[in-house]
Amino acid sequence: MDYGVEPDDATREVPNPKWITIDAKLRAARERVAEITRRVGAAAALRELGVDRSRGALLDRTVRRELRAAISESMRLDRRRAVIPRRIPIGEPSHGDVIKLSTERKHISNVIKMVA
């Protein structure tokens, strides 16, 4: 196996690691909003059916506060993600020479792997 390297184009674009991190946090925040919304819907359905008559007003206030916080967090992360570029040149985040595996050797080793 050969691990030879050659210079790479520093202007080639790659996914931005900062955008990926914020996007993961945003997905988690949106999932939190959806989870709270599902809980509210289930509780409302049970109250509507007359099955659950527990402390509805207190629960509603608590859930509303929780939902409001989750939505504001989701909106904050969405605004942060909007200003971060989705893709950046590969030379921007690295602190050294931009290199890649030797193309010819890489193709040969990939062919051998596929045959095996």
Q: In this predicted model, what pLDDT tens digit does every residue of 12-21 receive, in sequence order? A: 788 888 999 9
Q: Coil, helix or strand for 14?
A: strand
Q: Are residues 114 and 103 part of one domain? A: yes
pLDDT per residue over 21-50, tens digit each?
999 999 999 999 999 988 888 777 777 777
Model pLDDT, residue 99:
65
Q: Are residues 22 and 79 part of one domain? A: yes
Q: Are residues 35 and 10 part of one domain? A: no
Measured N-to-C along each axis, helices 56-82 and 17-49 cross at an angle, to the nearest 10 degrees, of 160
Q: Which domain holds residue 114?
A: 1-14+91-116
Model pLDDT, residue 32:
95
Give the residue-averaged pLDDT of 59-73: 87
Return the top range by mean pLDDT from 34-38, 50-54, 79-83, 94-98: 79-83
